[in-house]
Chains A and B, each alone.
Chain A
Amino acid sequence: MKRMSLKGLLTIGTLLSSALMTPYAMAQGSSEGPRGVMHGFFDLFAPPAPAPGTVAQSNTAPGSGKEWTTPAGSLNNQRYSTLNQITNQNAKDLQVAWTFSTGVLRGHEGGPLVIGDVMYVHAPFPNTVFALDLNNDGKILWKYEPKQDPNVIPVMCCDTVNRGLAYGDGKIFLHQADTTLVALDAKTGKPVWSVKTDDPTKGATGTDAPLVVKDKVYVGVSGGEFGVHAWFAAFSTADGKEVWRAYSVGPDSDIKVDPQKTTALGKLIGADSSLKTWQGDQWKIGGGATWGWKSYDPRTNLIFYGSGNPSTWNPKQRPGDNKWSMTIFARDADTGVAKWVYQMTPHDEWDYDGVNEMVLIDQDVGGKPRHLLVHPDRNGFAYTLDRDTGELLVAEKFDPAVNWASKVDLDPNSPTYGRPQVLPQYSTEHNGEDVNSKNICPAALGSKDQQPSAFSPQTGLLYIPTNHVCMDYEPFRVSYTAGQPYVGATLSMYPPQGQSNMGNFIAWDATTGKIAWSLPEQFSVWSGALATAGDVVFYGTLEGYLKAVDAKTGKELYRFKTPSGIIGNVMTYEHAGRQYVAVLSGVGGWAGIGLAAGLTDPHAGLGAVGGYAALNDYTSLGGTLTVFALPHS
């Protein structure tokens, strides 16, 4: 084989790829105007929108009941259920009641909804949705399977996951991989309307679970590793019309802030708060993806969500704080205008996306009752803020291994108020390009990723599934091409030195920032938790175990090994007088990519061959829903 010059190769490659990508480009071109609305025949029969102001579930409601109508069970994201048939006394008797295969092999994140007597189950790409009749042993009432161009698959960072469905206005909402937001008639599964929210040829994809509040459905976008210009938007549940769209980075009008009203840590952000923190036009490919969980407080009409990493992963290439990536947003649900913002990781140097769940809880802090927002971040700090004002109350490490920063400055009079105190040895900006910064904890997948925590008002504790993994991180120069990965760093991952467990399941006191108890897990815990009034907390493991533990002590009550590793979220519902607990298994996602072959410690020397446990030795692919209940008495 004759060698070719780099330039020659590049030319050939360009020709080949452009020839091969033509059909896709054409398909995309036909729907020009990515936000164009497509109305369906079924519009005519769509039920009227509920009167503004009516909310299916209020934040003040104690949690989810017989149904499970939002991704987290309730709009406050507590993942708490008032059902108490299954208790810490009888959970040991749980059995599998029924199972259902999705027919898809990829990673299954999220979980089903239950509305009335129907369960709605979703799958990763091709984003199949099933409506199952709970009155008839889960018979399939309808199935929706969109036709999507498979070229979207490789622009989905880290597996073709989808985090679930939303319900409202008689419709089931799905944000498809190709960024089609579709509203399905909940009774028939027929599309009522669909709208294209972005453009996958530029690396934008849909993976998030939408959230419905009143007459709007809220969605965000994925693509932080492709330099997307990320946004968060509200669409009318009635017809798919875009009501507002707010970008994470860019000019004030695009990011929907009011320089004279929007605050950060109690201070006005002023004009051009984002533009001032980027060099030139870099914000246009600045990322700040919004693929995490959304929550809502009807008391203030604020919607909460987080933004992800600034693109690229090489911090040297984007000087400045890169606002408002890595930020918690509190926006008016009707207008989209931000009331307050808080950037957790200014000028990210480690890929610590800020998209994790915002859990809204009411607890006393320092003897005073507060309306709180609790957010366990990828960067290893759990933040407790006043959700009405954005005041920072607590910021503590929820994994003792976290070392990239010593603390978050909580002194309001300090010039670095609210900022992490970064240690130079772990700063990939400080160490520079082409330098391997070692032993940084947590790894890029964070002390936790999207796997959502649960809160029990009975114990006052937040139950957090965590990763316990560190990394070496080497940033380097990278060039941007639309629709191609824009990463710019190499990393190796391994458990903290001297330890072999790659995860913990912890109980966290958000008012003091302290761990109440911690259960070591062999692998990262990548499953969303559930807390119930029966004082039972449920979560899944990457080996595939569904585990039930005592909410007060963490004592294990029950475990069952499902067909595949669990990266889905546990939920519960009641049907015909019986409480059920359900979870999707189906290994994949970032966890499946990073941990499948097992980790090795690059600093352990040549003797340590094999390193740590490999997920491949425990589980294999395949999506299944497993539903548990107590035996019939």
Chain B
Amino acid sequence: MTPLPRALTAICATTFLLIGIARADGSGDPTAVTSEDGKYLDKEGTPTYKVDPDGKVDFYTYVGFIRYSANCLRCHGPDGLGSTYGPALLNSLKTLSYGDVLMTVASGRQKVSASQDLVMPALGADKNVMCYIDAIYIYLRARSNGAIGRGRPENHEPKPAAFRAAEDECMG
């Protein structure tokens, strides 16, 4: 599959090669350096995951699994692994940046040819997706980097008060 936008991806990929980051995805080094109300951020300020040595995940990763499975699995298969219908996001996130993901989810994309009709819907108006888009991104980022395995994370940090407030405001 062709990542969006190509130029940005190419730049990112080249950067990674030059500076030789051991672990990286379309948004760079996923290592969490700061946290804000239970949400972790990498050094660029991009949302990221945090997984403890005992497998305990941050709350966003956990919610991301729940919301991915409810909203994305129907096409992209369980655990980001892809299906006969949609591509494996686990692979897509190796090249797509956070911004690419937001753009694609919100506005959709189409790849329609004589033999294939791949259409991603524009989900920008779907609160069930957009209110949780950071969580979904964080979950997929963790999957893409092999930080968590398949299935529901066994253990997670408690629900942050800020998450609850933002959820209520967003879902209405």
Asked if B65 and A490 make an inter-chain contact with CB atoms under 8 angstroms apart, the answer reads yes
Chain B nearest Cβ from A101, distance in angstroms: 10
Please give, as numbers and ranges, the residues of chain A lying within 8 Å of B106 by CB-CB distance: 9, 12-13, 16-17
Contact of A150 among B45, B110, B127, B131 (CB under 8 A): B110
Interface segment among A60-68, A352-360, A475-483, A568-576: the answer is A475-483
* Docked pose: A474 CA to B63 CA in angstroms: 12
* Docked pose: A492 CA to B166 CA in angstroms: 27
Please give, as numbers and ranges, the residues of chain A lying within 8 Å of B79 by CB-CB distance: 597, 600
Contact of B128 among A106, A154, A487, A588 (CB under 8 A): A487
Q: 0/1 per residue, B51-73, Cβ < 8 Å to A?
A: 00001000000000111011101
Residue of A nearest to B163 (CB): A6
For window 50-106 of B, CB contacts with A under 8 Å fall at 55, 65-67, 69-71, 73-75, 77-79, 81-86, 88, 97-99, 102-103, 105-106
* Docked pose: A493 CA to B150 CA in angstroms: 12
Indicate whether A9 sits within 8 Å of B102 (C-beta atoms), given known contacts A106-B117, A157-B74, A600-B151: yes
Please give, as numbers and ranges, the residues of chain B lying within 8 Å of A157 by CB-CB distance: 74
Indicate whether A489 sits within 8 Å of B70 (C-beta atoms), given known contacts A9-B102, A107-B84: yes
Indicate whether A3 sits within 8 Å of B128 (C-beta atoms), given known contacts A10-B170, A487-B71, A621-B84: no
For window 158-200 of A, CB contacts with B under 8 Å fall at 158-160
Asked if A1 and B166 make an inter-chain contact with CB atoms under 8 angstroms apart, the answer reads no
Chain A nearest Cβ from B42, distance in angstroms: 9
* Docked pose: A286 CA to B47 CA in angstroms: 36
CB of A134 within 8 A of chain B?
Answer: no
Indicate whether A104 sits within 8 Å of B115 (C-beta atoms), given known contacts A17-B106, A492-B69, A602-B151: yes
* Docked pose: A472 CA to B107 CA in angstroms: 32
Question: DSSP majority for the B interface?
Answer: mixed
Size of the chain B interface, CB-CB below 8 angstroms:
67
Chain A nearest Cβ from B3, distance in angstroms: 16
* Docked pose: A16 CA to B102 CA in angstroms: 11
Indicate whether A13 sits within 8 Å of B124 (C-beta atoms), given known contacts A6-B169, A157-B74: yes
Asked if B77 and A593 make an inter-chain contact with CB atoms under 8 angstroms apart, the answer reads yes
* Docked pose: A153 CA to B123 CA in angstroms: 14
CB of A27 within 8 A of chain B?
Answer: no
Contact of A594 among B78, B102, B107, B120 (CB under 8 A): B78
Asked if A1 and B97 make an inter-chain contact with CB atoms under 8 angstroms apart, the answer reads yes
Question: DSSP majority for the A interface?
Answer: loop
Contact of A225 among B27, B74, B88, B125 (CB under 8 A): B74
Please give, as numbers and ranges, the residues of chain B lying within 8 Å of A225 by CB-CB distance: 74
* Docked pose: A492 CA to B88 CA in angstroms: 17
Asked if B74 and A593 make an inter-chain contact with CB atoms under 8 angstroms apart, the answer reads yes
Q: 0/1 per residue, A480-511, Cβ < 8 Å to B?
A: 01001111111111000000000000000000
Asked if A10 and B131 make an inter-chain contact with CB atoms under 8 angstroms apart, the answer reads yes
Asked if B66 and A490 make an inter-chain contact with CB atoms under 8 angstroms apart, the answer reads yes
Please give, as numbers and ranges, the residues of chain B lying within 8 Å of A159 by CB-CB distance: 84-85
CB of A406 within 8 A of chain B?
Answer: no
Contact of B117 among A126, A472, A487 (CB under 8 A): A126
Please give, as numbers and ranges, the residues of chain A lying within 8 Å of B81 by CB-CB distance: 596-597
Residue of B nearest to A565 (CB): B84
Contact of A485 among B47, B65, B74 (CB under 8 A): B74
Asked if B117 and A153 make an inter-chain contact with CB atoms under 8 angstroms apart, the answer reads yes
25 A-B residue contacts at CB 8 Å? A1-B27, A1-B97, A6-B170, A10-B131, A13-B124, A14-B125, A16-B106, A17-B108, A20-B122, A104-B115, A160-B117, A485-B71, A485-B74, A490-B67, A490-B152, A491-B69, A587-B84, A592-B83, A596-B77, A596-B84, A597-B79, A599-B78, A600-B151, A602-B151, A602-B152
- Give residues in A with beta carbon < 8 Å to B: 1-3, 5-7, 9-10, 12-21, 103-107, 125-126, 150-151, 153-155, 157-160, 225, 436, 472, 474, 476-479, 481, 484-493, 587-588, 592-594, 596-597, 599-600, 602, 606, 609, 611, 615, 621
Closest 5 CB pairs between A and B?
A13-B124, A592-B84, A17-B124, A17-B122, A154-B121
